[in-house]
Structure formats: structure tokens, C-alpha cells
Structure 1
């Protein structure tokens, strides 16, 4: 089951729709999606199922960010921190999957890709240990009840609030704020040194937030240009996501150099990943310059 990145049908709620009463219609499909992916992880933890769970939880975090002005600040912060914690739990195994995929595709010098069997078994064993930890964390977190309770309590808070906000106006304002933050981070990244991965990562996070908000509220946003923005953000996410994958893999490999049979083998793998990181970074910078 892949994440549904189509705009939610909030337009069906009418021109007089209120932001408060629309929240549950937006959040419920995301909660259901996260729980479905969580269930599939316990049955068969494929790299895709782990990735899709993390995406669903990130989308939930972005939705709670969108509604932050209408919610209790401390509770909203706690909820978003919880989604990040759960996403990170799935992400730890996903990071191993990415590292293994990158190393399995390493060129052996003859122009041919190395076979997955060339990846040390100790790395695959480490991935399985990470998976066991991820599963245990998600089980202990009681994710089903956690997400349903969060949905119920937030919906109640919004629906019992004394003030009401027009959905169209509320959505447009939140998207504008997210877009302004993205432009600011893009300018900072272009001014930064080429090796400043942190600012590029900030661009990636801001871009995802804008994309998710447009997908949430797209049908009620008056600006027809959001369709073009969405396509541009998807391209950016692809490029910056690949860069982030390599950066995470470099960090993970550095922390686990002892899993290789020899120091030379570990250094060779690290050098390969650094080369990939440089390539991806140059692509990300070129994309920013064209934006």
C-alpha cells in the first residue's frame, strides 16, 4: 500500500467549510494509512513498508503543524514530537536498507555493478537487529491507540473551540507561511558553503512541508499556480532525498566500520559513499540555482 499523495477532497465540504471541522477528514486517512503500514511491517518488513510508514507519520506531523495556531501549543508540540519519534523508529531500519542498497550497487571497477552477495553478511545481520528494535519500539508505543487517541483529542479540541476559521483563508495563510520559510532556507543554502549539508537538509524538510500542505488543502487554494509548485517540489524532494540518503549512509557506515572484515574494505566502502555524496550534493545545488 503506497501513500496517497493526491489532494484530499476538502473541496467537497463547500465554500463555507471551517478549518476546525475539516481536521478529522484530513487526519483520518493518514492515521489509517500509518496503521496499515505498521501492520505490514510486523508481517513482512520490506524496505518499502518501512519507508511508507515513515512518510505517513511525517505527513501527520505536517498536518499537526498546519493546525498549530488553533491548538494548545504544548500539546501540539508533544504530538508532533511523538510522530517524529515513531518515524525515527521505522527510519533506523530504513537507513540500513538504504546503506545496503547503495553498497550492493557499487561499481567493482569493471563497469559492472557488484552483486548484493558482496555486501558483508555482518551488515545484513545489523539490519535485522535494527528491525527487531524498530518492531519492539513500535509495539511498545502502542501506535494504534496512540494515533486514535491523538485524532480524537485534537478533533475534540478543535470542534469545541469558541472561535471558527474559514478553511479557505486558514489554508492559504498556512501555505504562505510554509512557502516563505522554504524560500528563506533556499536563499540560505545558496549562500552557504558547498559542504554545508545541514542547510540543504533544512531545504528538504521545508519543501516537504509545503508539498504536504498543498496536497492537504489544494482543492480550496485559489492560486492555480500551486499545481506547478507541487510538481517542482516533487522533483526537489527526489533530488534532495537521494542526497539525504547518502549522507545518512555515510554516518551509519562510519559508526559501524568494525562490521567489515578489514579496515581497507571499510575505507573502500566509505570512499565510494563519499563520492556518491559529492555527486548528489552537486545535483542539489544545481537544482537550487535553477529554482
Structure 2
């Protein structure tokens, strides 16, 4: 990896600071610009192949896309910009997947060194290749132009120029308008959790997809709560965010294990310079399956507890 300068160091999300007298439009603008600052602050580090900067840039982009979804029924980012953000998210995610496999998932397998070492080396090679491709992509003007256009959208409130813009909806007080937005995110999460807990997806592939949908809903609910936490404080809200964060960690591990299955299959077909044996691949896939089963079993209690939480009512 390239030596990082001080300005390339990873930057975590700053808390969104809203005022209680803000309109929902003011809150939307501040939330969007907050997310964009995190994305921009980590772009140089990601371009210089920093694993953690890439992760934080991706977190910033996830937060931004969650904000766009949260406000999607009130104001919509123009489709070309939204498509550009989706494409960038896909690029960052593909590289991050190899990072996680090489540095986290395989390292967490309690196995003899000779059974995993070759796989880790092969995964690290793929990670480095993916970082190199991402670095080249981030150097092109299109990415900075995209972020500049999205930043201008928020900074200059360009949604006001849209023919179907509803000024009244965004001029409500944020303290009042935030409640139905958060309640909608809660209801969506509870519905998906209930579907998962009711066993409506008995086939493992379908169950994995259902868990993925719960993970996405939990992520969006958590970000929504964090966006408005400064104007909707309280112990219930803090507990809710903490529960969502814990659930995300559990579901995130399950997702990493599911992603590992696909990446290991790729390594079996194209191992690169570091040959890996069929036995090593089979061992790792078997270990991932066993770990997944244990993680699924441990999900029941936190899911049940989360459904009961009601930080806001709307």
C-alpha cells in the first residue's frame, strides 16, 4: 500500500448537528452536506489504497444514500446523479469485499495456519488488484465531478428548481416532520424482522436474502435516527441506535460470510499467482457455513428485543 500523508488518514462520520428551529429542508441540506464531507475527506486515502479510508468513504456514501431514500417521497435527486452514486457504491463495495475476506473473515477462522495461509495470500492479491483498479477510477474527473454536482444540489437547494417541488412539505419544523420519517423506517424494519422470525423464508437461500433485507432496513433506520438525534434526544432514542448498531454488526458478519462464499468460489476458479487447493477452498467454505449457522441462531433474541423498541411514535 502507498504511504499515506496526514490528509489521507481515514475520517469517521461527524455527528449531524441540527437546531430545533430548523425546517425539514434545512435539515435535509445539512444532513446531505455532512455525508458528503465524509466521502470527500476519505477520497484521497482511498485513491492511495488505504483500506480504512476506503471503508470510511463507503460508510459516508451509505449514509448519503440512506438520507436520499429517507427523503425520497419529498424530494428526489436527479436520476443521473443517483445512478452515478450507485455505480460508485458498487465500485467501493467490490474492493471492500476483498479487503474483508483477506483481513477479517479468513483471519477469524480458527484453523491451522497451513489451511488458511494460502487463501489469505490469494485474497490479499485480489484485494491489491482491486484497490489498484479503484485508485485508477477515482483519478478520473468523472468521480469528482459527480461529488461536485451532488454537493451543489444540496448547497444551492437545486430541488427547488424541479417542476414538481412541494415547498410546503419541506417547510415544516424538522422536530415535527422527522417523527413520521423515523416511524416509517421503524415500521419497515419491524415488518422485515417479523417476516424473518415467522419463518416465511424456509429455504436457506431465501432466508439469507430475507436477512439481507433486514440488514438494509436496520442500517437505514439507524442512520435516520442518527441524523435527527440532536433534535430528538432521549434515552429511548440512544438505546434504539445502540440496538440497531449491535444488530448491524451481527447481520454484517452474516453478510460477510455470505459474500465470502462467492469470493472463495472465484479464488477456486482463478487463484492468481498463489495457487490454492480444492481442499483449502472446501475447508474455508465449510467453516463459513458453520459460522453462519451459529450467527443465525444467535440472532433470535436481539431481533425480538428490537421489535419491541419504540423511540418515536408516528
TM-score between both structures, scaled by the size of structure 1? 0.86
Is the 2:116–2:284 Cα contact (8 Å) retained in structure 1?
no
1:98 is displaced (CA, Å) by: 1.4
Structure 1 286/228 Cα, relative in aligned 2: closer, same or farther at 3 Å? closer
Task: Deviation per CA, 1:143-197: give whole Å up to 9, x if none.
Answer: 3321221122244234565432322222111111111101100101112337311
Look up the match of 2:86.
Answer: 84
Look up the match of 1:201.
Answer: 212
What does 1:104-183 correspond to in 2, within 5 Å? 104-108=107-111, 117-119=117-119, 121-140=121-140, 142-154=142-154, 155-158=156-159, 162-163=167-168, 164-183=171-190
Structure 1 stretch displaced more, 154-163 or 223-232: 154-163
CA RMSD of aligned residues (A): 2.5
Look up the match of 1:30.
Answer: 35
Look up the match of 2:311.
Answer: none
1:114 is displaced (CA, Å) by: 6.7
Q: Equivalents in 1 of 2:194, 2:35: separation in Å?
A: 32
Is the 2:84–2:146 Cα contact (8 Å) retained in structure 1?
no
Choose the corresponding residue for 1:250, options 240, 261, 266. Answer: 261
Q: Secondary structure at the match of 1:4?
A: coil
Structure 1 198/76 Cα, relative in aligned 2: closer, same or farther at 3 Å? farther
Q: Secondary structure at the match of 1:68?
A: coil
Is the 1:105–1:116 Cα contact (8 Å) retained in structure 2?
no
1:34 is displaced (CA, Å) by: 0.5
Choose the corresponding residue for 2:98, options 65, 85, 96. Answer: 96
Q: Equivalents in 2 of 1:84, 1:189: separation in Å?
A: 27
Is the 1:21–1:159 Cα contact (8 Å) retained in structure 2?
no
Unaligned 5+ runs, structure 2: 1-9, 307-314
Task: Deviation per CA, 1:8-60: give whole Å up to 9, x if none.
Answer: 2102xx42x211133332222221210111111122x2332221111100000
Look up the match of 2:18.
Answer: 10
Does structure 1 residue 55 correspond to structure 2 residue 59?
A: yes
Q: Equivalents in 2 of 1:116, 1:50: separation in Å?
A: 25
Q: Equivalents in 2 of 1:223, 1:159: separation in Å?
A: 33
Q: Equivalents in 2 of 1:129, 1:67: separation in Å?
A: 37
TM-score between both structures, scaled by the size of structure 2? 0.80
Structure 1 stretch displaced more, 280-289 or 62-71: 280-289
Is the 1:54–1:88 Cα contact (8 Å) retained in structure 2?
no
